[in-house]
């Protein structure tokens, strides 16, 4: 059983500005897909999220994908949603994941199944995201399952969660974030940021509430390679993309380059915001671009651990 802290946790604690990436597992049991993405990210990110049936599209499990990514030397941030599992399955899967060497865990409510290809599916939501954080955090701290029974071999995940600075009602979203942190979330990844002004205002509130001192806030950014991709992103619930960015993509002679420029501009601004402890780069399906973004943003090379 792994005892040391994850690389991600250690870097946060050492005060480094952390860079994470994202890997979407394949729609099948093909290992090559994850291996390839991991190889693209290796050395350029400190860890990579492996999504859990994101937007409810049925894929290889996050546990499996995370394990494969770690085989290729990329530390995984395993994602776990409340959509598909009840408290029995969540705790059981996490025990297995920890036993296989996964150390970072991002707990989420999950996109509703109506977004994916299995709209007919029944959802679970036995626990919500605040409750699941509390449940796993309590399990780790007290060595007991939610049912009170003793855990033999207690995991020690570095628990994170998500936040959407652009969702409504703004005050309640912040209260919920506070509850998640109070429940035991140690790091927070935000929804992809396009509207930096709005994000700055959100961070002001985060600082006023002192939340940045209780958890590491990682700002999410997304790399779009085409007009279609940014337009599709805009359709995702909770996304807030200023029109001028979409216009820029539409008018660009080289949309790929423009997409990179946009994300680099966003990164350069959010990097300077007080309380932002890292950046989470989402480039699913375009993983090869992450190395360039990281280099051009001046984040390369990534720090080594002592």
Partner 1 sequence: MIIASQKPLDEIRDTLKAYDKVLIAACGTCVTVCLSGGEKEALELKALLGLEGDKAYRVVTPERQCDSEFLEAFDEDVKWADVVLSLACGVGVQYMAERYEGKPVIPGLNTSFMGTNRDAGYWTEMCQGCGNCVLEKTGGICPVARCSKSHFNGPCGGSANGVCEVDPSIECAWQLIYDRLKSLNQLDRLYDTIPPRDWRTSRDGGPRKIRRPDVAIEEV
Check residue 128 for interaction with partner 1 (CB under 8 A): yes
Would you say 174 or 297 has its CB closer to partner 1?
A: 174
Check residue 243 for interaction with partner 1 (CB under 8 A): no
Q: Of residues 4-63, which lie at the interface with partner 1 (CB under 8 A)?
A: none
Q: Of residues 73-92, which lie at the interface with partner 1 (CB under 8 A)?
A: 82-83, 87
- Candidate ranges 58-66, 178-186, 245-253, 256-264; the one touching partner 1 (CB under 8 A): 178-186
Check residue 178 for interaction with partner 1 (CB under 8 A): yes
Check residue 137 for interaction with partner 1 (CB under 8 A): no
Q: Measured at the alpha carbon of residue 157, what is the angle toward residues 58 and 64, in degrees to the nearest 5?
A: 30
Count the residues in the chain: 306
Check residue 206 for interaction with partner 1 (CB under 8 A): no
Check residue 167 for interaction with partner 1 (CB under 8 A): yes
- 228 burial via Cβ count (<10 Å: 0-12, 13-18, 19+): exposed
Task: Give 99-102's long-range contacts (Cβ < 8 A, gap of 24+).
Answer: 99/1, 99/153, 100/63, 100/67, 101/2, 101/67, 101/70, 102/63, 102/66, 102/67, 102/70, 102/76, 102/78, 102/157
Single residue of 103, 176, 260, 280 touching partner 1 by CB under 8 A: 176
Would you say 99 or 175 has its CB closer to partner 1?
A: 175
Residue 166 token pair? 């652009």
What gap in Å lies between CA 21 and CA 37, rounded to an integer? Answer: 10
What gap in Å lies between CA 113 and CA 100, rounded to an integer? Answer: 28
Check residue 210 for interaction with partner 1 (CB under 8 A): no
Single residue of 168, 197, 243, 254 touching partner 1 by CB under 8 A: 168
CA atoms within 13 A on the CB side of 1: 11
β 104-108/158-163 pair status: parallel
Q: Which residue has 């059981």 as its token pair? A: 92
H or E segment to which residue 282 belongs? strand 276-282
How many residues of this chain interact with partner 1, rule: CB under 8 A?
39
Check residue 183 for interaction with partner 1 (CB under 8 A): yes
Q: Which residue has 């002001």 as its token pair? A: 204
> At closest approach, how far in Å is the CB of 291 from partner 1?
29
Residue 151 token pair? 């855990």
Single residue of 10, 31, 71, 123 touching partner 1 by CB under 8 A: 123
Check residue 111 for interaction with partner 1 (CB under 8 A): yes
Check residue 129 for interaction with partner 1 (CB under 8 A): yes
Query: 94, 83, 190, 79: which is closest to 135 by C-alpha?
Result: 94
- Candidate ranges 157-165, 196-204, 241-249, 277-285; the one touching partner 1 (CB under 8 A): 157-165
- Candidate ranges 21-29, 36-44, 120-128, 251-259; the one touching partner 1 (CB under 8 A): 120-128
H or E segment to which residue 186 belongs? none
Single residue of 30, 73, 96, 114 touching partner 1 by CB under 8 A: 114
Check residue 130 for interaction with partner 1 (CB under 8 A): yes
Check residue 256 for interaction with partner 1 (CB under 8 A): no
What is the contact surface with partner 1 in residues (CB under 8 A)?
A: 82-83, 87, 109-112, 114-115, 123, 125-131, 134-135, 146, 162-164, 166-169, 171-173, 175-176, 178-179, 182-183, 191, 237-238
């Amino acid at each position: 059983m792994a005892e040391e802290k994850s690389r991600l946790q250690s870097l946060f604690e050492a005060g480094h500005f952390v860079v994470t990436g994202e890997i979407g597992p394949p729609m099948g049991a093909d290992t090559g897909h994850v291996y390839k993405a991991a190889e693209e990210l290796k050395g350029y990110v400190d860890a990579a999220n492996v999504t859990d049936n994101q937007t409810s599209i049925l894929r290889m499990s996050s546990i499996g994908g995370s394990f494969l990514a770690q085989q290729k030397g990329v530390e995984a941030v395993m994602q776990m949603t409340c959509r598909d599992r009840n408290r029995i399955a969540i705790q059981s899967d996490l025990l297995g994941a920890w036993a296989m060497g996964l150390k970072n865990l991002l707990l989420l409510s999950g996109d509703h199944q109506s977004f994916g290809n299995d709209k007919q599916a029944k959802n679970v939501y036995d626990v919500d995201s605040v409750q699941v954080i509390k449940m796993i955090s309590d399990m780790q701290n007290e060595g007991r399952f939610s049912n009170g029974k003793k855990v033999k071999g207690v995991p020690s995940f570095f628990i994170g969660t998500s936040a959407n600075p652009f969702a409504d009602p703004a005050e309640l979203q912040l209260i919920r974030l506070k509850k998640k942190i109070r429940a035991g979330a140690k790091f927070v990844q935000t929804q992809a940021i396009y509207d930096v002004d709005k994000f700055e205002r959100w961070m002001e509130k985060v600082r006023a509430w002192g939340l940045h001192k209780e958890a590491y806030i990682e700002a999410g950014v997304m790399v779009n390679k085409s007009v279609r991709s940014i337009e599709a992103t805009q359709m995702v619930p909770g996304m807030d993309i200023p029109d001028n960015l979409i216009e820029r993509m539409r008018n660009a002679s080289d949309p790929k380059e423009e997409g990179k420029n946009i994300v680099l501009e966003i990164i350069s601004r959010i990097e300077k915001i007080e309380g932002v402890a890292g950046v989470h780069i989402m480039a699913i399906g375009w993983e090869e671009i992450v190395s360039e973004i990281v280099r051009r943003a001046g984040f390369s090379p990534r720090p080594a651990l002592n």
